[in-house]
Structure 1
Amino acid sequence: MKQYLKQDEWRIIEEGFDPDHHKASESIFSLGNGQMGQRANFEEAWSGPTLQGSYIAGVYYPDKTRVGWWKNGYPEYFAKVLNSPNWIGINVTVDGEMLDLFKAQKVDNFERILDMKNGVLSRRFSVILNNGKRLTVKTDRFLSMERPETGVVKYTMTPNEDCKIIFTPYINGDVENEDANYDEKFWNILETNAVLNKADLLCQTKKLDFRVSYAMETELVGAEASEEQPFSDELHSGNHIPVLASKGKEISLTKYVGVANSMNHEKDELLSVARKKASEAKTLGYDTLLKEQIAHWNEIWEHSDIKIKGDIAAQQGIRFNIFHLNQTYTGEDERLNVGPKGFTGEKYGGSTYWDTEAYCIPFFLMTSPQKVVRNLLIYRYKHLRKAIENAEKLGFTNGAALYPMVTMNGEECHNEWEITFEEIHRNGAIAFAIHNYIRHTGDEKYLEEYGLEVLIGIARFWSQRATFSHDKKKFVILGVTGPNEYENNVNNNWYTNKIAQWCLNYAREASEIVKKNNPGRFSEITKKVNMDPPTEMGVWKSVAGNIHLPYNEEEEVFLQQDGFMDKEQIMADELSPSVRPLNQHWSWDRILRSCFIKQADTLQGMYLFEEEFDTETIRRNFKFYEPRTVHESSLSPCVHNILAARIGDLDKAYEMYLRTSRLDIDDYNREVHEGLHITSMAGTWMSIVEGFGGKRVYKDGKLRLYPIIPEQWKEYSFRIRFRRHDLEVRVDQEQVEIISHAKDEATLTLYDKEISIPAGKSVTIPLNIKYHVKK
């Protein structure tokens, strides 16, 4: 772990200047607003280690896949999340000396603060330059949530003596990706312009013709500029703004930036739109834009905040995760999704993984309007044709659909064979998300409109991917990688087989629902997909009813996969800390031969299908797999937290909560410099609401709560939306209070007792500290 940040309930605080922390801080202090994002790069020059990162949602580059040798079915490209032109830059020279903290003589009183309540990033520091000049600097910036094509930077300096300062606000199109496979740059700069107090730039991706325009306007307060010099060349545009600064007098330069892209505007209008956005922002002024920002974030926090009393580390952790989730995805655009790094880094490429369906949808279901999750599901529906093409490339037929592991537009763009070809469980997460949405919302009409077509394609894939073993007299699924990526090319991964079985059964169930509710639409769908329902559904039933699910009689646990017990059974606590994380110290061969589990796998299935298992079965499996799990995937701790809480192991649940909530803040896996783990942040929310709060919605569509509380907390509370109801749950060491913010009566089950809460009222009952979800 790397613990250098101060604990605070609403802020992330870095005190003291250490260049060794800089790349990690660039990730942790990142900003976004759903449409664009920005790593916490310095505005002024910085010559030290850095990962420059400015990102536009949905804009990507199909970089040619780089592999040792080609295999049939390999994706042709790896989608790059593009580092876009740098719009935050403001170079500063003081009497001819460039301000660069990496080269400065001395830096004092350095403080960087991410105000999560209001979505504002600030810095404060004092510096002595190599020419002996002393000054203090304050910077503030935010990406407007209210105006998602607007960014603002306020740069304030106070010199300790009279001097000449030259501010150079600019837009820089000369950017590159750190992860470029062939070291090429991905942008063409089409146009640059600059006049007094204004500059702009229009750029185009070298493939696919995405276009983005940037325009800035500046405002100087506290001094008069002399001989301002606009400049532009092939790659840059900006203004040199000389100022004669007086000792002790504060000078502030505010930079208002408009950003427009071709996903949202006509290409020939981009510059005019960006200019208009910048001009509107300047007219409104910094203070008005900030008030809008604060009001917008207040509305977000009203519905998604989780409050914890008595544990600042836990409180900071959950708010950090909720903050980044909400600034990454707003649900306004069904073409967008929740990237695994969001707007914080380049790693992984692509915008969409199975993480969205398995982890993010539970968060958005409970904290956002219904349309947000519907848009996430429609995103996958619109990629169905591509999913069928992906399956066809691998030899599947008749409309079988294999959704990609990584995608931007529905095409597979991941180039590691063990994931591209084998991690097929992702199909199950997409089907389960449809079920999860419907059981929470009651929106069965979604099946008629979109969902059933997706489920049929997925069921066709599973029925073809399974083969009948005459030895086992069962259907088997061979050559797969489960969620636990520390085991590749295994046979009969329990989780994969289990979710395949569930998908086949749910596709049949969904077909019957649509047939009953809207026979005409059912007939239309089956004709469209060329389906003979009795025949195909008969096949699905046969495969699902006879699928092999590995089980160990001696341990009485579901077996990770065939042959798992052939491995040497060493526990994770026997490993030396010096070899962790394993993937940074061991060879891949050694990892694959070990019993160590990167992330919840068998337990992932028990989490999804908890209704099917009694408490003792969950306990046996948890006690078997938890000691073998190294949690070197960000997606792992939250599932272990939820199941630990389920079986009453509060110490383990609390340990896993801190690990998931502070994964990036404390850099558990020593990789935060590459970007944050955005999708797993939803797992932190799940850890409280589904773990300690015991929130469940089973197949019957009823809301259930089974709250427990760690001894480290005095109280916690969360708010959830469920169908027409808006409920707040407060839990302390003695009682549980359910408060209704709804307009009509809410009914739910609390500790297996059905209760009704009138609109605007609350119900309080004693905490049942020994209660488990199922007796």
Structure 2
Amino acid sequence: MKNYIKADEWNIIEEDFDPHLNKISESLFSIGNGRMGQRANFEETYSGETLQGNYVAGVYYPDKTRVGWWKNGYPEYFAKVLNAANWIGLEIDIEGGLLDLFTCKVSNFKRVLNMKEGTLSRIFTAELKSGKIIQVEAIRFCSIAEDELAALHYKITAVNFDGNINITSFIDGDVRNQDANYEEKFWTEIKKEQGEDTDYLVLRTKKTEFDVCTASHTTIIYNDIKQNLKPVSKEKYVGKSAVIHAKQGSAVHIYKIAANLSSQNYDKEELLFTAKVKVERAVVQGFDQLLKAQTEAWAMKWKESDIIIEGDVKAQQAIRFNIFQLNQTYTGKDARLNIGPKGFTGEKYGGSTYWDTEAYCIPFYLSTAPEIVAKNLLVYRYKQLDKAIENAEKLGFKTGAALYPMVTMNGEECHNEWEITFEEIHRNGAIAFAIYNYTRYTGDENYLAQYGLEVLIGIARFWKQRVNWSADKQKYVMLGVTGPNEYENNINNNWYTNKLAAWCLKYTIEAASVVKLQEPEKYNAILEKTKLREQSEFEDWTAIVNQMYYPYDEKEGVFLQQDGFMDKEQILVKDLPAQDRPLNQKWSWDRILRSCFIKQADVLQGMYFFEDEYDLETLRKNFVFYESRTVHESSLSPCVHSILAAKLSDEEKAYEFYLRTARLDLDDYNNDTEDGLHITSMAGTWMSIVEGFAGMRVRNHQLSFSPFLPKAWNAFSFSIGFRGVQLKVKITATQVWILNNSAGALEISIFNQLYNVPPGEKVIDYKKQLA
């Protein structure tokens, strides 16, 4: 666990430069805008340990897997988001001495991620080997107001010398991914062009043939005079250079305004021309105006999604950091895009789409963004239904059964570990649950007729064929699976997977009845399209729902993770030596698989989804049993524990797990932040507060709240949208108040008491139990 980030309500602050922490900081200070993003690499040369990363959403490469064997149905490639051209590049040469923080003596270093305005800034003093000292101030951002634009301002001051500063501002496309097989590079140069102050570089990905035009306009000003620039060019590289004879105490200002345009959005033939127009217009606006637009756009984001915590600066910083990263990773403008587990902050997991989006991110976007944002995440899956059916066919499933991929860019499965690819099939259930969650929250049942029912039918058909009848148990069973807890592979009857499968079958029948009643013509069209045999298939699905097997331990009174779980030696996490943690970095995989230790508790994940089916005593027994065996080495684990602990009124545990999920990356709990941030689990942090501490649920088409106030806080508040109504919710030690900021009235429940909240008015519920 690291503890070098300064506590601040609106900023992530690093003071003093430690090269050993640089890759962690590159992740923490990452910026993006939903269309593109980058790690917090330095603009100037850095020869120390670094993970360079610039990413353009939706642009990927089908990298050949390194696995030395192949089985039928195995994916042929592993898709990965590509490290794209580096547009921020500056080479600063001071009379033969290169500015490089790895070789210079660095002082007065400060790096700040301003979450309120969406900017990354640095200030430092560097002494070169020659003894010459410069001071640098830099600020940059990826614009969410115009999401194909980015800009930076870099200021160099000569502190103790008169002399020449040779500046080269460049775009470098000669890059590769850190995890590239055999250091392969994935880009070929198509064309480049240079104007007086502008540079354009068009690169094409191998195989997938995406074209990306990276454009940059450079302005260098010294003594209020714009400097003449000379072109610099080589393969996959274009830039501008100038030599400034700087006087002691004087400053050189470098401005770069850049654009990244993809052939996903423009014809390849028009790409260069469009980039020129984009940059020219941005240059007319100027850096300051672009920054003003950025600040205003972020103000709107925070109005929709901010959570205010009074009395706990570290908790406040943490939740805003998580919300900030979610908002700059996905904006919902493009239904072809989704949320990678690392967003724009690193290459791990390939930047692809996982089940995390449906299970964890949907609730955040439902409450904090226009309805279309969450809907687009679901439409993304609908448009890949044909591919999901193809994926299932490769594994031997028939008649329209759909298996959504564990990892994907275009709907094809591209995960390269067999125990995940073939067995972690619970992802199908998460997608079905997201459809249920969306319609439950928005009331938009028309979505079922338009998109959802077709997806549910494909998923239901998969579950029907994936189970088998056990003559021994006289139940339906599911063999050879891996649950979310990936510390147990190829097991039988994972409770969570079985539960999710049966629920999916039941929900599909319910959804079909809704569509049949509300839109009979559309329903008949779906029957025709899917060739659904309504009576026989529904009967088969109902039989499975009624006769599904769920492993259970009578002695402990708990649902079992899977068959045979109690055959494992039952050791508790509290008895694990500290030097053995984290297990995935200290133990062999064989030892992990044979242990009872859990990466994330599958049973508790299921009880979170379907909490209304279980009384508090059942939940408590399972929570105590599994919490004591869970090492939380999945970033998705602590938030679910926090929410369930809150439901059980275990406020101490709820808060402990909240801090763990909220500061997972800021404090580098699992020693893996340098690979990139855990973007999808950040949505779980939001859930821990809104669903955990505030106890928000949707029941019978109404919002309900059962909140408590953590002892470390004076109060907390948040804004949410629900069915066209915007609410501000505040919880203090003695009251809950809810303000309706919309034109329509809304009925809500607070501690099971109904209130009607008129437009523009506030309701207050006084509760002694909040004290």
Which TM-score applies when normalising by structure 1?
0.98
Task: Name 1:743's counterpart in structure 2.
Answer: 743
Judging changes above 3 Å, is the alpha-carbon distance between structure 1 residues 192 and 28 closer, same or farther for their aligned structure 2 residues?
A: same
Partner of 1:359, secondary structure, is helix
Counterpart AA for 2:728? E
Total equivalences in the alignment: 769
Task: Name 2:302's counterpart in structure 1.
Answer: 301
Question: Are residue 474 (structure 1) and residue 475 (structure 2) matched?
Answer: yes
Task: Name 2:120's counterpart in structure 1.
Answer: 121
Task: Name 1:166's counterpart in structure 2.
Answer: 166
Task: Name 1:315's counterpart in structure 2.
Answer: 316
Residue-by-residue CA offset, 1:136-172 (whole Å, 9 max, x unaligned): 1000000011111111010001101211111111000
Alignment of 1:551-570 (within 5 A): 551-570=552-571
**Residue 273 of structure 1: how far off its partner (Å):** 1.5
Distance (whole Å) between structure 2 residues aligned to residue 747 and residue 245 of structure 1: 67
Contact 2:215–2:279 (Cα < 8 Å) also in 1: yes
Residue-by-residue CA offset, 1:358-404 (whole Å, 9 max, x unaligned): 00000000001010111111100000000000000111000000000
Distance (whole Å) between structure 2 residues aligned to residue 754 and residue 615 of structure 1: 23
Counterpart AA for 1:246? K
Partner of 2:717, secondary structure, is strand
Contact 2:709–2:770 (Cα < 8 Å) also in 1: no
Counterpart AA for 1:758? P
RMSD of aligned residue pairs (Cα, Å):
1.1
Counterpart AA for 2:609? L
Task: Name 1:399's counterpart in structure 2.
Answer: 400
Contact 2:231–2:239 (Cα < 8 Å) also in 1: yes
Counterpart AA for 1:508? I
Task: Name 2:6's counterpart in structure 1.
Answer: 6
Task: Name 2:267's counterpart in structure 1.
Answer: 266
Distance (whole Å) between structure 1 residues aligned to residue 635 and residue 221 of structure 2: 45
Task: Name 1:108's counterpart in structure 2.
Answer: 107
Task: Name 1:501's counterpart in structure 2.
Answer: 502
Partner of 1:338, secondary structure, is coil
Alignment of 1:543-582 (within 5 A): 543-582=544-583
Alignment of 1:315-464 (within 5 A): 315-464=316-465
Contact 1:350–1:413 (Cα < 8 Å) also in 2: no
Contact 1:192–1:234 (Cα < 8 Å) also in 2: no
Partner of 2:93, secondary structure, is strand
Distance (whole Å) between structure 1 residues aligned to residue 681 and residue 456 of structure 2: 25
Partner of 2:350, secondary structure, is coil
Distance (whole Å) between structure 2 residues aligned to residue 343 and residue 569 of structure 1: 40
Contact 1:399–1:529 (Cα < 8 Å) also in 2: yes
Task: Name 1:706's counterpart in structure 2.
Answer: 706
Contact 1:425–1:496 (Cα < 8 Å) also in 2: yes
Question: Are residue 73 (structure 1) and residue 73 (structure 2) matched?
Answer: yes
Contact 1:383–1:410 (Cα < 8 Å) also in 2: yes
Residue-by-residue CA offset, 1:504-556 (whole Å, 9 max, x unaligned): 00000011111111111111101111111001000000011100011111111
Alignment of 1:44-63 (within 5 A): 44-63=44-63
Distance (whole Å) between structure 2 residues aligned to residue 22 and residue 352 of structure 1: 27
Deviates more, 1:683-692 or 1:165-174: 165-174
Residue-by-residue CA offset, 1:717-761 (whole Å, 9 max, x unaligned): 111111021111101111111111111211111100111111111
Task: Name 1:154's counterpart in structure 2.
Answer: 153
Residue-by-residue CA offset, 1:178-219 (whole Å, 9 max, x unaligned): 111232100001112223322110000011110000111122
Task: Name 1:36's counterpart in structure 2.
Answer: 36
Distance (whole Å) between structure 2 residues aligned to residue 511 and residue 765 of structure 1: 40
Distance (whole Å) between structure 1 residues aligned to residue 503 and residue 14 of structure 2: 47
Deviates more, 1:175-184 or 1:353-362: 175-184
Distance (whole Å) between structure 2 residues aligned to residue 477 and residue 684 of structure 1: 32
Task: Name 1:22's counterpart in structure 2.
Answer: 22
Residue ranges of structure 2 left out of the alignment (5+ in a row): none
**Residue 451 of structure 1: how far off its partner (Å):** 0.4
Deviates more, 1:609-618 or 1:358-367: 609-618
Distance (whole Å) between structure 2 residues aligned to residue 29 and residue 236 of structure 1: 26
Distance (whole Å) between structure 1 residues aligned to residue 619 and residue 226 of structure 2: 70
Contact 1:708–1:767 (Cα < 8 Å) also in 2: no
Distance (whole Å) between structure 2 residues aligned to residue 669 and residue 328 of structure 1: 22
Partner of 2:525, secondary structure, is helix
**Residue 227 of structure 1: how far off its partner (Å):** 6.2
Task: Name 1:676's counterpart in structure 2.
Answer: 677
Counterpart AA for 1:716? F
Q: Percent identity?
A: 58
Residue-by-residue CA offset, 1:50-92 (whole Å, 9 max, x unaligned): 0000000000000011113111111010001100011110111
Contact 1:648–1:770 (Cα < 8 Å) also in 2: no
Partner of 1:219, secondary structure, is strand
Distance (whole Å) between structure 2 residues aligned to residue 672 and residue 122 of structure 1: 20
Distance (whole Å) between structure 1 residues aligned to residue 566 and residue 701 of structure 2: 38
Task: Name 1:642's counterpart in structure 2.
Answer: 643
Deviates more, 1:685-694 or 1:221-230: 221-230
Deviates more, 1:236-245 or 1:626-635: 236-245
Counterpart AA for 1:167? I
Counterpart AA for 1:186? F
Partner of 2:412, secondary structure, is coil
Contact 1:350–1:406 (Cα < 8 Å) also in 2: no
Task: Name 2:129's counterpart in structure 1.
Answer: 130
Task: Name 2:205's counterpart in structure 1.
Answer: 205
Task: Name 2:654's counterpart in structure 1.
Answer: 653
Contact 2:34–2:330 (Cα < 8 Å) also in 1: yes
Partner of 1:348, secondary structure, is helix
Distance (whole Å) between structure 1 residues aligned to residue 764 and residue 752 of structure 2: 15
Alignment of 1:717-736 (within 5 A): 717-736=717-736
Alignment of 1:465-544 (within 5 A): 465-544=466-545
Distance (whole Å) between structure 2 residues aligned to residue 456 and residue 132 of structure 1: 71
Contact 2:734–2:770 (Cα < 8 Å) also in 1: no
Counterpart AA for 1:430? I
Contact 1:356–1:679 (Cα < 8 Å) also in 2: yes
Contact 2:343–2:351 (Cα < 8 Å) also in 1: no
Counterpart AA for 1:133? K
Partner of 1:26, secondary structure, is helix
**Residue 241 of structure 1: how far off its partner (Å):** 1.2
Residue ranges of structure 1 left out of the alignment (5+ in a row): none
Deviates more, 1:732-741 or 1:671-680: 732-741
Counterpart AA for 2:710? P
Counterpart AA for 2:706? Y
Residue-by-residue CA offset, 1:409-439 (whole Å, 9 max, x unaligned): 0000001011000000000000000000001
Judging changes above 3 Å, is the alpha-carbon distance between structure 1 residues 768 and 212 closer, same or farther for their aligned structure 2 residues?
A: farther
**Residue 688 of structure 1: how far off its partner (Å):** 0.2
Counterpart AA for 2:42? F
Distance (whole Å) between structure 2 residues aligned to residue 482 and residue 768 of structure 1: 41
Partner of 2:188, secondary structure, is strand
Distance (whole Å) between structure 2 residues aligned to residue 164 and residue 613 of structure 1: 73
Partner of 1:218, secondary structure, is strand
Distance (whole Å) between structure 2 residues aligned to residue 178 and residue 724 of structure 1: 45
**Residue 767 of structure 1: how far off its partner (Å):** 3.4
Residue-by-residue CA offset, 1:223-249 (whole Å, 9 max, x unaligned): 346663211122210011111111111
Distance (whole Å) between structure 2 residues aligned to residue 272 and residue 253 of structure 1: 25
Distance (whole Å) between structure 2 residues aligned to residue 228 and residue 303 of structure 1: 44
Counterpart AA for 2:472? D
Contact 2:732–2:770 (Cα < 8 Å) also in 1: no
Counterpart AA for 2:53? G
Distance (whole Å) between structure 1 residues aligned to residue 567 and residue 769 of structure 2: 40
Which TM-score applies when normalising by structure 2?
0.99
Distance (whole Å) between structure 2 residues aligned to residue 644 and residue 606 of structure 1: 12
Partner of 1:285, secondary structure, is helix
